[in-house]
Structure 1
Amino acid sequence: MSGLRIKSPRLLVAESGADLEGHGLRRTLGLFQLVCFGVGAIVGTGIFVGLSDSVGHAGPAVVVSFVLAAITCVLTAFAFAELGGAIPVSGSSYSFAYASLGERAAFLVGWCLLLEYGVSMSAVAVGWSQYLNELLGSVLGHELPAALSAAPGEGGVINLPAVVVILLAALLLVRGVRESARATAAMAVLKIAILLLFCAIGFSAFEDGNLTPFSPAGLGGIGAGTTAAFFSYIGFDAITTAGEEARNPRRDIPVAILICIGLVTLLYCAVALAAIGAIGGDEVGGRPAALSYVVNQVTGSSAGGAVIAFGAVVAIVSVVVAVMYGQTRILMSMSRDGLVPRVFERVSPKTATPVSNTLIVAAVFAVPAAFSSLDAVVDLTTIGTLATMAVVNVAVIALRRRDPGLPRTFRVPLYPAVPLLGIAFCLYLMYETGPAAWLQFGVFLLVGWLVYEVYGRRNSRFAATADTRGPKGGPAGGDAGPDAGAVPDAGAGEAATRTAEAERRA
């Protein structure tokens, strides 16, 4: 077991300062802000843009697809709630894997989180560009030229609006987490109000006949629709990345996760029923900016569609902010451990935010947003997210066995059935993404493994400090003895001092 480099949960919490103030991060987020942050991370491109793809696969049975996708998320949300309350640090799934499965698995989880947060940020920005054009067309009568608002494969040259929204989100985040939380909360409330308005308009024209045939493509269509619908839920686990900036993370993080999943599921099912009941599944399926189209058809005017487009523009901005926040906090945790360069852990003393980290993330993921289509990244993002969620369910089981006495403010009900079902649902939806997505994901994981072996394994601060303590790994290191060949980095002395202090607190 020594080669696994497993870091105890208590050491993770103590090193991060999560019981105090985490490396310059300030505790400013309460339960309401965490719920708004979760809603902000979830509700966006998936429902405003992706609904049409889900309906195209499943027809009116897309409601069943949304429920099945929600069940997958709920099963895993229990796991996130237990681990987020027990290990309230910024690393989310990465830190949970480090505490239960070891450093190599943790690095690969962090690598997969580049898909869930970074690449999905690019996908969300592309969806924002579509609704911005819809809004400009409704209000001004003119859209941006395709050359400046679409990817090369879709008749354009560069998607400038997608780049702009990523840069705006970065500027908001570097101002401070309090300001970002306020903006995200305001946008979350607005987007829910807009979707409720859509439901009111759609149900006013509801016709039972539009729901038949209910499942035109049968179970296969529902399965494909579930995989497509799952993209609409990506981001709920971003709440766990706020572990070091929440005022009471052990209590509030589990509650916020479960509230978000329940609220979003009800909202999505209502929106899907309203859209299909108003104009029929054939009209909704495969149509860009579908919600605006539905309102225009029902009201006979472009004004209502413009309101929905405005709501989508605001909604998707909040998603970009939330997922960029999550990505920067995960990279910060990985940087503290020496697995990625140290620039990602630096916090500005003025704004208490990782400014360099945020700007690098924005610059890197603005590139696929500028030159890729939405369809090109959705399946890869989905399979990466599902793989991470499956690992989190495994982590719950592993940590229950490894550290049964760890204080847990929330426990997964019906253990171990719930995490095992969570794993099964995740694997099923991964299977439904298709061979092309699996091939892309396999290549992506191979690259991640190589990066770990070449850089992460040799620069691990945990391995370096374990070397300074001797082969037993020290009192807080658990089973985490050093790998053969681990090379202490230049920050080993600082890391050793910090770890020693953390062990005393742990």
Structure 2
Amino acid sequence: MSTSTVRPGLRGELWRRKPVGESANPHGPRLERTIGTFQLTMFGVGATIGTGIFFVLGQAVPEAGPAVIVSFILAGIAAGLAAICYAELASSVPVSGSTYSYAYATLGEVVAMGVAACLLLEYGVSTAAVAVGWSGYLNEAVSNIFGFSLPQALLYAPFAADPDAPTGLINLPAVVLVGLCMLLLLRGASESARANAIMVVIKLGVLLMFVVIALTAFNGSNFSDFTPLGKAAVGTAAGTIFFSFIGLDAVSTAGDEVKDPQRTMPRALIAALIIVIVFYVLVAFAALGTQPWTEFEGQQEAGLAKILEVVTGANIWGTILALGAVISIFSVTLVTLYGQTRILFAMGRDGMLPPVFAKVSTRTGTPVNNTIIVAIAVAILAAFVPLDYLIDVVSIGTLTAFVIVSLGVIILRVREPDLPRAFKVPGYPVTPVLSILACAYILSSLHWITWVVFAGWVIVFLAFYMFYGRKHSVVGRLQRGEITPNEIPSTKEH
């Protein structure tokens, strides 16, 4: 008898779902709604442009040659299909937590925790990776302006994937960047959104400057051998480039802090997607027109700035671009750090993590504990782990999240066809199916080692869920009658 009751009970616990109504109007602590459409769009652009275009060309171009333009378009199509699916779920489940919250409402608790593992890995690693890339542009700007370079010991991690790559003691600029972003986020969401919007406008202006100047040295012969490494390499490069589309997911982490989220979030997602793809393709095309694809090898750090210096024969334009990149990548780090803190907040509010993650400051209206904890973890990762080990792991987390979102659209359409939706995916069900297939294609091109690391992390996270989250889940406690909705604490501190 005990066996027959335990097994269904365990199965019921693993697959229980958070009602869509409760997801959209959660019990417990809440954040303040202060972010409008323009600022939210700038969140998406800010978290995306900068990561990919400012230093991923040095990795992606050697993987695919001039055909990397197709890789950008392929990654953009996959991201675009997923963004459309995000827009529908964001209008239906307008809450912080991104794909974790969507999976909880559509697929069940255990899937939501698996998705959370993807998201936390994705955001933590991407923030560290971007901070690592920031160091190169900062050093370039310091060198051009003041005539000296920062010490190598303070610019690089103690080891590198490439035996010929430089090493040091600690990537100190990366740690400083994370610390500055943490301080800004602690001031409040509206202040952070305003600062990010200013930085995004600057970065777009700098990238337009690069395109105009680079096109003056355009050489069509650089595209003559368009696929020197074969067609399969295009997919491999697309997997690397997908690292840069994390910003689209960052928009959906702000659900609790957006004004009129049912309308604002879909609009911001689509607008950010269009801006990102246009700028990525323009910059990649202009950069490839200036030099043979083989010369991109090793240009991960301040690559675009070096291209401008070669084209113009003067340091001034490269210096301007390097300074623009310093500001630009600051905004990427700010938004991805923000995104992870809000995912942790949603999980803490749901009881899937200890209550410390659900605490909200009465003074700033932000999850202060989450911001400090995440900043410390990311700073350690950025200080001591080289960029080479990080990018593909981010891609697999992003792609998995995109697949879950696309699947969630289909499930929610079937399960709750009459649910109010401010935005509906056009071309349903073809669009979400194509999104799943596109993401699956890019996933299939990733190295097996990436899969091993990813699987290991998810298993560890699910083990934590089995021992902690499953027992402390607010949904579970409500179902068992241990608490009532009115007894869920509205956690405030300070």
Q: TM-score, normalised by structure 2?
A: 0.93
Gaps (5+ residues) in structure 1? 18-22, 469-491, 502-506
Find the counterpart in structure 1 of residue 267 from structure 2. Answer: 255
Indicate which of 177, 188, 193 corresponds to 2:189: 177
Residue 95 of structure 1 deviates from its aligned partner by: 0.6
Post-superposition CA distance 1:145-189 (Å, at most 9, x none): 111110111411111111110111010001011110110000000
Partners in 2 of 1:252 and 1:65 — Cα distance? 30
1:188 and 2:194 equivalent?
no
Find the counterpart in structure 2 of residue 51 from structure 1. Answer: 57
Residue type at the aligned position of 1:219: K
1:419 and 2:425 equivalent?
no
Find the counterpart in structure 2 of residue 226 from structure 1. Answer: 238
Find the counterpart in structure 2 of residue 371 from structure 1. Answer: 384
Residue type at the aligned position of 1:460: S
Residue type at the aligned position of 1:433: L
Partners in 2 of 1:171 and 1:499 — Cα distance? 30
Q: TM-score, normalised by structure 1?
A: 0.91
1:72 and 2:72 equivalent?
no
Verify the 8 A CA contact 1:166 1:366 in the aligned structure 2. Answer: yes
Partners in 1 of 2:134 and 2:283 — Cα distance? 19
Find the counterpart in structure 2 of residue 488 from structure 1. Answer: none
Find the counterpart in structure 2 of residue 145 from structure 1. Answer: 151
Indicate which of 451, 456, 467 corresponds to 2:464: 451
Partners in 1 of 2:423 and 2:297 — Cα distance? 40
Task: Find the residue that maps to 2:423 and give its secondary structure.
Answer: coil
Residue type at the aligned position of 2:21: R
Find the counterpart in structure 2 of residue 435 from structure 1. Answer: 448
Verify the 8 A CA contact 2:350 2:473 in the aligned structure 1. Answer: yes
Partners in 1 of 2:303 and 2:259 — Cα distance? 39
Structure 1 residues 16 and 209, CA gap change in structure 2 (3 angstroms): farther
Find the counterpart in structure 2 of residue 239 from structure 1. Answer: 251
Task: Find the residue that maps to 1:272 and give its secondary structure.
Answer: helix
Partners in 1 of 2:116 and 2:342 — Cα distance? 11
Task: Find the residue that maps to 1:162 and give its secondary structure.
Answer: helix
Number of matched pairs: 472
Residue 24 of structure 1 deviates from its aligned partner by: 4.5
Find the counterpart in structure 1 of residue 332 from structure 2. Answer: 319
Find the counterpart in structure 1 of residue 180 from structure 2. Answer: 168
Find the counterpart in structure 1 of residue 21 from structure 2. Answer: 10
Partners in 1 of 2:246 and 2:256 — Cα distance? 21
Residue type at the aligned position of 1:263: I
Partners in 2 of 1:57 and 1:108 — Cα distance? 30
Find the counterpart in structure 2 of residue 474 from structure 1. Answer: none
Residue type at the aligned position of 2:221: G
Partners in 1 of 2:451 and 2:114 — Cα distance? 16
Post-superposition CA distance 1:8-64 (Å, at most 9, x none): 1111112258xxxxx352221111111111111111122111112111111111111
1:25 and 2:38 equivalent?
no
% identical equivalent positions? 46
Residue type at the aligned position of 1:338: G
Residue 242 of structure 1 deviates from its aligned partner by: 1.3
Map 1:473-492; keep pairs closer than 5 Å. none
Map 1:331-410; keep pairs closer than 5 Å. 331-410=344-423
Post-superposition CA distance 1:54-92 (Å, at most 9, x none): 111111111111000000001100110000011100011
Structure 1 residues 499 and 355, CA gap change in structure 2 (3 angstroms): closer
Residue 372 of structure 1 deviates from its aligned partner by: 0.5
Partners in 2 of 1:150 and 1:278 — Cα distance? 29
Partners in 2 of 1:445 and 1:245 — Cα distance? 28
Residue 2 of structure 1 deviates from its aligned partner by: 3.5
Partners in 2 of 1:252 and 1:45 — Cα distance? 24
Verify the 8 A CA contact 1:45 1:128 in the aligned structure 2. Answer: no
Partners in 2 of 1:307 and 1:282 — Cα distance? 25
Partners in 1 of 2:173 and 2:472 — Cα distance? 38
Find the counterpart in structure 1 of residue 318 from structure 2. Answer: 305
Find the counterpart in structure 2 of residue 203 from structure 1. Answer: 215
Gaps (5+ residues) in structure 2? 1-10, 161-166
Residue 364 of structure 1 deviates from its aligned partner by: 1.2
Partners in 1 of 2:125 and 2:217 — Cα distance? 37
Verify the 8 A CA contact 1:15 1:499 in the aligned structure 2. Answer: no
Residue 443 of structure 1 deviates from its aligned partner by: 0.7
Verify the 8 A CA contact 1:117 1:235 in the aligned structure 2. Answer: no
Residue 286 of structure 1 deviates from its aligned partner by: 3.4
Task: Find the residue that maps to 1:235 and give its secondary structure.
Answer: helix
Find the counterpart in structure 2 of residue 125 from structure 1. Answer: 131
Verify the 8 A CA contact 2:43 2:247 in the aligned structure 1. Answer: no
Post-superposition CA distance 1:277-314 (Å, at most 9, x none): 01222222431321011100001011111111111111
1:82 and 2:88 equivalent?
yes
Find the counterpart in structure 2 of residue 476 from structure 1. Answer: none
Find the counterpart in structure 2 of residue 20 from structure 1. Answer: none
Verify the 8 A CA contact 2:17 2:108 in the aligned structure 1. Answer: yes
Find the counterpart in structure 2 of residue 496 from structure 1. Answer: 485
Find the counterpart in structure 2 of residue 480 from structure 1. Answer: none
Post-superposition CA distance 1:94-129 (Å, at most 9, x none): 110000011111111111101221111111110111
Partners in 2 of 1:24 and 1:225 — Cα distance? 40
Residue type at the aligned position of 1:413: P
Find the counterpart in structure 2 of residue 269 from structure 1. Answer: 281
Partners in 2 of 1:99 and 1:233 — Cα distance? 24
Verify the 8 A CA contact 2:122 2:393 in the aligned structure 1. Answer: no
Residue 500 of structure 1 deviates from its aligned partner by: 12
Post-superposition CA distance 1:416-468 (Å, at most 9, x none): 11111111111111111111101111111111111111111111121011111
1:292 and 2:305 equivalent?
yes
Residue type at the aligned position of 2:198: A
Verify the 8 A CA contact 2:239 2:445 in the aligned structure 1. Answer: yes
Task: Find the residue that maps to 2:480 and give its secondary structure.
Answer: helix
Indicate which of 96, 106, 114 corresponds to 2:112: 106
Residue 411 of structure 1 deviates from its aligned partner by: 0.9
Verify the 8 A CA contact 1:116 1:235 in the aligned structure 2. Answer: no
1:135 and 2:141 equivalent?
yes
Residue type at the aligned position of 2:234: I
Residue type at the aligned position of 2:76: A
Find the counterpart in structure 2 of residue 473 from structure 1. Answer: none
Deviation >3 Å, runs of 4+: 498-501
Residue 498 of structure 1 deviates from its aligned partner by: 5.1
Post-superposition CA distance 1:211-252 (Å, at most 9, x none): 221111120221111111111222211111111111111001
